[in-house]
Structure 1
Amino acid sequence: MSGNRPKLLLIHSSDELYGSDRILVQVVDALREDFEILVWLPTDRQDGKRRLYHMLRDQQVAVEHVDMPILRRALLNPRGLGRMLRLAPRMLKLIKAAHADQVYLMTSACLLLAPLARLAGVAKATVHIQEPWGRGESLILRRLARFTQQRIAISRMVAQSTGFAEQEVCVVNNAVARLNPANPPRKLQLERDAGERPSYVVASRWVEHKGHETLLRAWEQAECPGFLYVLGSAPEGPHGVDISALVSRHVSKPETVKIIGQVDNPQDWFESVDAMILPTDTVEGCGLVPIEGFRHGKAAIVSDSGGPGEVVNHGKDGWIFATRDVSALAQILRSNTKDDLSALGAEGQRKYEEKYTPERFKETMRETMSGVLSGR
């Protein structure tokens, strides 16, 4: 233990820099004044670059790679379950050796470690629920989560999906870091012939449920009403989608859709367009994309996929359409001008300052964790 600070063992399920990974960084920033923090990252889920690991090291955070039993759908078979069981005795020893006052599980996939933490004699455990639980998996996850004293959900929708009573789950809104005034985003020179037509960006993994096909069909139905920039990439394996093929199949003016791919600084793109689009076809636990747009003063157009609908105020700072409703999205794209989107974005920026800043997140997290450690 360092001084009078309790020790927090923070366990995460990936070593990348996507949504849940960035939230881990926010949690560390919020709690490092009050806790001595040690982060464990898994050895089985990395993109090869270890970007989260290196970011934490750069911020002088103690971080280690550990072979841990993480609940992944691909491992829910006899072989995978057997491997996770074999890891349990070693994990019990490692948790005991860490001498932590509190274990913090950053995602539901880490919940196998909750009963191990209890067996290891750790006084308190928290789980940060960042994804909605399906009906089948909630039966298992809820039992494991009973071994925690604090459950934090990133949205009301996620909290409700767990099946816990309202008073048993605390909702803490995610935050998005402020723009760095010493290194502000660049406004890019986009299409010179755009004229007064709006420009949009969609930034997410290229997987089927993220709704790229819904968006491109709506884009065509709206008569390609401006320019659409597609950021992101397809994951390895069978679950990725071919964005180029979707554009060829659905869009009669393919020059209006610009496939950018992965970029080093997506903030430059967020700064340069008129609105963000999040067209998810299924569910989203949180609305990080619209929050990022609001930080830049940009309007957000989102499907009614759960968390994003809790962030966007329909008609005030953006627009919400029913999931997979191509015609509704097309109507939104067809009817908005650059001036319309600018006015919505200004309202969104005011909401960011009110609800989604790092300062607000830090205040809420410190109060929440103080309550757990004091037994409240």
Structure 2
Amino acid sequence: MSDRTRFVFLHSSDELYGADRMLLEMVGALPEHTEAEVWLPTDLAHPERPLCVELERRGAAVRHLDLPIMRRAYQNPMGLVRLAVRSARLFRALRRGAPDVVYCTTSATFLGAPLARIARVPAVIGHLQEIWSKTDRQVLRGPALACHRLLAISEAVVASVPGRIALRTVVVPNGTPEPPRLVPIETHQGRLQFVVASRWNAWKGHRTLLAAWDRAKPAGHLTVLGGRPPSGEWVDVPGLVSALRDPSSVSVVGEVSDPSVYLEEADVVLMPSDEPEPFGLVAIEAFARGRPVVASAGGGLVDVVTDQVDGWLYPPGDVAALAAILGRLSRTEVTEAGHQARETYKSRFNTERFALSWRAATFGERSTG
């Protein structure tokens, strides 16, 4: 590569959820000789543009373009026409911009891979951050094979893709920054404080969690962050809370720009997804703060949370099993697991380790981590 490598990231949203936060870590891990530019789509409204703000703070240039992002809303004849038009526009932008590297940050951006190859971009890289469905395997196989290199965030993701793609994929687990301050879990007193922080997608398990909460009647309080996703099926969380026997035991905060203060105030972080999580970034963000995690035992979370050590696992969608965990947790048990969670973060999920692994997979640099 040349002394100044032009590195274009194609990204699917302008928010600050899991894949968005990992994009920030990738930009931060780029070598000094790299000029970073992030191309974001215009098909979804994000008036506050929180990701843009953080990218620009890190010195990355940001452009909003009519990108061909593969969303369920486009799985119809008119949607396919729109994708075709946007693909043509992206191709022209790539020809004019002539980047050295195009990096497709999520599977939803993978249409950019064959377009970049046709535009003769020297290096095309794809990052697998989703567990593929049967339809995904049919639709995404070709675009993924157009990538020169492929990375994945977990073994669960690799297991979901076709074998030819899996053989070419390097697993680079996510990392998260050291918190600006640490609030020791042993300083907490009184009732246990629980928090769940995710979009209210139907598969994220809010219905399961609230049913278990109603059954267990734990001696604590639950705070719910997040909000309705911009697309796809979702759950009316406030409506579910209002139907509980004790609605006062749950606070629905909604969307927040920075969830860190809620993670600090919590004793336990919940990840109740009914379907397998590709990784579970919130889990390692909780670990970084010394907070244990209660999670469904599916997808990448089984490689993050060690049951009875730094958290507790239960079968996905099992209300009774989740209720049993919530109902029996004690402050002593939670404090001990919190200490173990902090050690897990320091040994496996810090940003230095991520940066070394990511650069090695992306640029072929030797990793010493």
Q: Distance in 2 between matches of 1:370 and 1:244?
A: 46
1:156 positional shift: 0.6
Partner of 1:226: 220
Letter in 1 for 2:293: A
Tell me the secondary structure at the aligned position of residue 199 of structure 2.
coil
Q: Distance in 2 between matches of 1:263 and 1:118?
A: 39
Q: How many residues align?
A: 364
Letter in 1 for 2:301: P
Q: Distance in 2 between matches of 1:299 and 1:238?
A: 30
| CA-to-aligned-CA distance 1:31-77 (integer Å, 9 cap, x gap) | 14242222111111232111111221222211111111111111121
2:41 paired with 1:21? no
Q: Distance in 2 between matches of 1:15 and 1:244?
A: 25
% identity of equivalent residues: 38
- 227, 237, 262: which is aligned to 1:243? 237
8 Å CA contact 1:13–1:45 kept in 2: the answer is no
1:281 positional shift: 0.9
Alignment gaps of 5+ in structure 1: none
Partner of 2:171: 171
Alignment gaps of 5+ in structure 2: none
Tell me the secondary structure at the aligned position of residue 175 of structure 2.
coil
Partner of 1:206: 200
8 Å CA contact 2:172–2:357 kept in 1: the answer is yes
| CA-to-aligned-CA distance 1:105-143 (integer Å, 9 cap, x gap) | 011111111111111111211101111110122112011
RMSD: 2.2
Tell me the secondary structure at the aligned position of residue 313 of structure 2.
strand
Letter in 2 for 1:94: A
Tell me the secondary structure at the aligned position of residue 221 of structure 1.
helix
Partner of 1:310: 303
Letter in 1 for 2:287: F
TM-score where L is the length of structure 2: 0.93
Matches within 5 A, 1:43-58: 43-58=42-57
Partner of 1:97: 96
Tell me the secondary structure at the aligned position of residue 130 of structure 2.
coil
8 Å CA contact 2:201–2:232 kept in 1: the answer is no
Matches within 5 A, 1:177-192: 177-181=177-181
Tell me the secondary structure at the aligned position of residue 290 of structure 1.
helix
Pair 1:116–1:237, CA change in 2 (3 A): closer
Letter in 1 for 2:113: A
Tell me the secondary structure at the aligned position of residue 294 of structure 1.
helix
2:215 paired with 1:216? no
Pair 1:238–1:300, CA change in 2 (3 A): closer
Q: Distance in 2 between matches of 1:82 and 1:116?
A: 16
Pair 1:297–1:64, CA change in 2 (3 A): same
Partner of 2:330: 337
Tell me the secondary structure at the aligned position of residue 44 of structure 2.
coil
Letter in 2 for 1:307: G
Letter in 2 for 1:361: F
Partner of 1:281: 274
2:268 paired with 1:269? no
Partner of 1:107: 106
Partner of 2:125: 126
| CA-to-aligned-CA distance 1:6-46 (integer Å, 9 cap, x gap) | 22111111111111111111111011424222211111123
Letter in 2 for 1:313: T
Partner of 1:70: 69
Tell me the secondary structure at the aligned position of residue 47 of structure 2.
coil
TM-score where L is the length of structure 1: 0.91
Q: Distance in 1 between matches of 2:245 and 2:122?
A: 61
8 Å CA contact 1:210–1:281 kept in 2: the answer is yes
Q: Distance in 2 between matches of 1:169 and 1:311?
A: 20
Tell me the secondary structure at the aligned position of residue 217 of structure 2.
coil
1:238 positional shift: 7.4
Q: Distance in 2 between matches of 1:90 and 1:340?
A: 56
Tell me the secondary structure at the aligned position of residue 319 of structure 1.
strand
Letter in 2 for 1:142: R
1:372 positional shift: 8.5
Pair 1:234–1:170, CA change in 2 (3 A): same
Letter in 2 for 1:137: D
